[in-house]
Structure 1
Amino acid sequence: MSTDYQQARAALGHRLRELRLTCPDGRLTGQQLATRLGGTWTKSKVSKLENGKQTADAGDLRAWASATGQPEAYDGLLAQLRGFESHIRSWRRQLSSGHRPVQEAITAEHDQTRVLTIWESTLVPGMLQTADYARHVLTRHATLMQSPQDTEDAVRARIRRQEGLYEPGRRYRILMWEGAMRALVCPPTVLAAQLDRLAAVIGLDTLELGVVPFAASLKIYPGGGFWVYDERRVVVEDWHAELWLDDAASVALYLRTWNTLEASAVYGADAQNVIHGARQALT
């Protein structure tokens, strides 16, 4: 977890402590506040929130503001929470209701984007996945994260997002590492159909699909995947969370990284040859 995230959570905890100590009918102890809040609240939870050891959710903040007699403080608390959650979105919290809400959130980001720039080193990008391939990827991720299995809803949401490939005025700049086309994250028959899909979309006027072959001379190591939405925001995926970065310096860094990787990519017929080689390897 980043230092910036910890500092932001600690600042929110400090504000919560202020509200407890400035309660209009007199300062409350942690135990007294927990008693007022009732339910699953304990003195330990109050302490963890105030000391930045646990992240509150919107319901926690509303209850806290009300219990301390200062409901008008809720909007400010929520703004603090949204400020740092917009940068680090843990999978545990995002997937508490399954993968479908996550897919719908990213679809909303896609809908306001005209130029989407993607690098993927381990998987075929969601924008180009077949339903069967997406099903295996989402199922395995849900199993790892121990989250609700709403796979079919999530698959439909992901596939629906691909309609953008056929909308005039949109532009998709997608780069893939050859390893992403060879990783057996699904049965070979499913991967074969996925590779056929990749070969079929080359030539769409909205899509620039480049492949960085194993044999290419690299100017930088492949690294993890990321998605740049116009020049407005970049989303980077890690095992514990997604990072949503919207500061100009971060966006510029990831675009520069993409351009460096693109220098090793092939397109058109050469990309088809790499895809064909991965397809042949399956048989």
Structure 2
Amino acid sequence: MSTSPSSSAEQARRAIGNRLRDLLRDAGLTARALAQTAGWDESKCSRLIRGRTLPSAEDIRTWCRICDAEGEAADLIAATRDADSMYVEWRRLQRSGMKRLQETRVSLYEQTRLFRFYCSSFMPWPLQTPGYMRAVLTSFAEFHEAPRDIDEAVEARAARTRLLYEGDHRFAMVVEESVLYDRVADDDVMAGQLGQLLEGMSLPSVSLGIIPFAARRKLWTMETFSIYDDQRVFVEMLSAAVTVTQPREIALYVKGFTELAAHAVYGGKARALITKALGALS
């Protein structure tokens, strides 16, 4: 697994470029001829065909019109929007505010039956307390110079935790022991957060494993990621949010999660690690 932009996004761009090339061939046209008709520089056609640049909706409509394939435009526009959402810089996601960022995936969360979280940098969001959420979102907003609608964002994020108690959702969570000691907030907030882990792991819908510092491992510590059924993976990078939708890549993350989960301890041993972290608070 890599912290480079997901190959899902790259493959999606290439697939759109390949489809544009096919339309050219079906129409018996060259890129030069299309560019001349559209009034574009020929290099633009090359970038679109190679997947280096995603076409705009208007680009697609023009392309399809010239190729006498206007019936293909709607599907291509939808595919382009999907590809555009696979690798998105945080600064772009935050333009409409932190609250909106917390609300973007609610429908996916509601539809998901099996959530899998691997957390190497912060607590899994379903078990975060409002105080911990506030500290994380505030730090995030400061670092990325995002809008400061923190109160609204915390309220929206906290509302999602109802899924722990509703429906038939299941949550498998694996957390590095180091996360228990990361002081993202003051001692009172951290004590409440660690207490929430102890409370949350007793829920029938939750499996919580902690990977001890001293665990013998086959897989190294890696970026925080979450898996939603076997349909989608979200990877949180410093600069961007990556969405993985390619089945081959999803299978790799599922395999990774399974191996990381095997390094973790559960039940009484996990509780002991959390209690130890609580005792380390001054």
Q: Which band: TM-score by shorter chain?
A: 0.7 to 0.9
CA distance in 2, matches of 1:122, 1:245: 20
- Report if the CA contact (8 A) 1:174-1:210 is conserved: yes
CA distance in 1, matches of 2:151, 2:53: 32
- Report if the CA contact (8 A) 1:209-1:267 is conserved: yes
Higher relative contact order (CA 8 A, sep 6+): 2
Amino acid aligned to 1:95: Q
- 1:78 to partner: Cα distance: 2.7
CA distance in 2, matches of 1:240, 1:101: 18
Amino acid aligned to 1:166: Y
Amino acid aligned to 1:251: I
- 1:237 to partner: Cα distance: 1.0
Amino acid aligned to 1:207: V
Q: Could you say what secondary structure the match of 2:265 adopts? A: coil
- Report if the CA contact (8 A) 1:227-1:234 is conserved: yes
CA spacing shift, 1:169–1:2, aligned 2, 3 Å: closer
Q: Which runs of 5+ in 1 are unaligned?
A: 31-45
CA distance in 1, matches of 2:252, 2:94: 28
CA spacing shift, 1:28–1:135, aligned 2, 3 Å: same
CA distance in 2, matches of 1:177, 1:279: 15
- Give 1:147's aligned residue: 146
- Structure 1 segment 46-195 matched on structure 2, within 5 A: 61-62=57-58, 75=74, 78-195=77-194
- Give 1:226's aligned residue: 225
Point out 4+ residue stretches in structure 1 off by more than 6 angstroms. 10-15, 18-21, 49-56, 69-74
Amino acid aligned to 1:118: F
CA spacing shift, 1:79–1:215, aligned 2, 3 Å: same
Q: Could you say what secondary structure the match of 2:243 adopts? A: strand
- 1:4 to partner: Cα distance: 6.8
Instruction: Kindly indicate whether residue 181 of structure 2 is the aligned counterpart of residue 212 of structure 1.
Output: no
Structure 1 stretch displaced more, 110-119 or 193-202: 193-202
Q: Which runs of 5+ in 2 are unaligned?
A: 25-30
- Report if the CA contact (8 A) 1:97-1:147 is conserved: no
- Report if the CA contact (8 A) 1:65-1:72 is conserved: no
CA spacing shift, 1:147–1:55, aligned 2, 3 Å: farther
CA spacing shift, 1:27–1:230, aligned 2, 3 Å: closer
